[in-house]
Amino acid sequence: MSPVEPFGARLRRAMDTRGPLCVGIDPHASLLAAWGLADDVGGLERFARTTVEALAGRVAVLKPQSAFFERFGSKGVAALERTVADARAAGALVLMDAKRGDIGSTMAAYASTYLDPGSPLFSDAVTVSPYLGFGSLRPALDAAAAGGCGVFVLALTSNPEGAEVQRARAGGGRSVAQVMLDHIAAENAGAEPLGSVGAVVGATLGDAGADLAVNGPLLAPGIGAQGATAADLPAVFGSAVGDVLPSVSRGILRQGPGAAALREAAERFLDEVGAAVGPRNDGFR
C-alpha cells in the first residue's frame, strides 16, 4: 500500500490551484431564515447541499461548523455526514470545525471520530483546542499523521475574550499563544512543502504580536462579518502571509440561496485576497 500523502502537501496544492480560501458551512437559524428555509433538518439539509453543490468543486476548503448540525440531534449529525462525504467527493478538502479538546482516551475518541478513514465523519482536518495543554492533543496529532490528515490548533483567535488566556504570560515570558505556536512549529519541522499542523490566528488582530513562522497553514477567521478584510492580512501575518488560509462564512453564505451568487461571492473574496497577497490561479479561472 502506498503511503498517504500528508495533508499539508494536499492543502498547499489546493491553495495553489484553487486559491487560498476556506468557506464555512454555518447553517445557523438567521441564515436559514435569510434563505427562506425552515429552522429544521429539512432546511439544514437544503442549506448544506446547496453550499456544497455551489462551491465544493471550486474552493480549496469547506469548513462545516459541527455545532449547527449537532443541534438537530441524530438527524443533524446524519446530515453532517452526508455534507462531508459530498464535499470531499466533489474535490474540496473538508475541515471539520469542532474545536475539540480533552485528555487521554476521550481525546483519542475525538480523533477517531474525525480522523479515522473508517468513521462516517472522516474529514481531511479538524480544529482542536490546546488549552488543556498541548500534550493533550497527542492522540489527534498522531492520528492525523497516520492518516494523512491535518489538525488546526487554536492559537490567537478572533474573539476578544480569547486574549485573557492566549495573551497571558507563561514561563520564560512567552505568551501562552506563542508557546502553542512554538509547539506547532516543532511538529512541522522539516515538512515540505507545508506542515500538516496548522494554527488558527484571527484576521481581526491587527498585529498578531507573535512569531507565526510555524511551517504550517494559518487559518484566518474574521474576514467579512467580523470586520476584517483581505487587505488586513499582510499586517497581521507578515512574512507568513503566503501560508494563510482566509476563512469566510457569513460574508459568502448570506448571498444565498442562489448557487451563482454564492460562487460570485467566493470569487470576489478570492480577488480581494489576490490583490492583498498575490495573484490568483484558481478554480474560478
Please, are residues 246 and 198 in contact by the beta-carbon 8 Å criterion? no
pLDDT for 279: 60
Evaluate whether residue 280 is within a structural domain: no
Evaluate whether residue 263 is within a structural domain: yes
CA 264 to chain centre: 21
Hey, which residues are catalytic here?
A: 99
Evaluate whether residue 91 is within a structural domain: yes
> What are the average pLDDT values for consecutive 10-residue runs of the chain, which has 285 residues?
84 97 96 98 98 98 98 98 98 98 97 97 98 97 97 94 92 92 98 97 88 97 82 93 95 96 96 81 58
The pTM for the full model equals 0.95
Question: What one-character-per-residue DSSP string does 193-237 give?
Answer: S--SEEEEE-TTSSS--S----SS-EEE--BSTTSB-GGGHHHHH
pLDDT for 280: 52
pLDDT for 156: 95
Evaluate whether residue 74 is within a structural domain: yes
Evaluate whether residue 251 is within a structural domain: yes
pLDDT for 282: 59
pLDDT for 285: 56
Evaluate whether residue 284 is within a structural domain: no
Q: How many domains does the chain have?
A: 1
Cell of residue 124, nine digits: 481531511
Query: With left for phi above 0 and alpha for psi between -120 and 50, is residue 238 left, alpha or beta?
Result: left
Domain that holds residue 99: 7-275
pLDDT for 1: 47
pLDDT for 237: 94
The CATH number of whichever domain residue 148 belongs to comes to 3.20.20.70
Evaluate whether residue 182 is within a structural domain: yes
Evaluate whether residue 27 is within a structural domain: yes
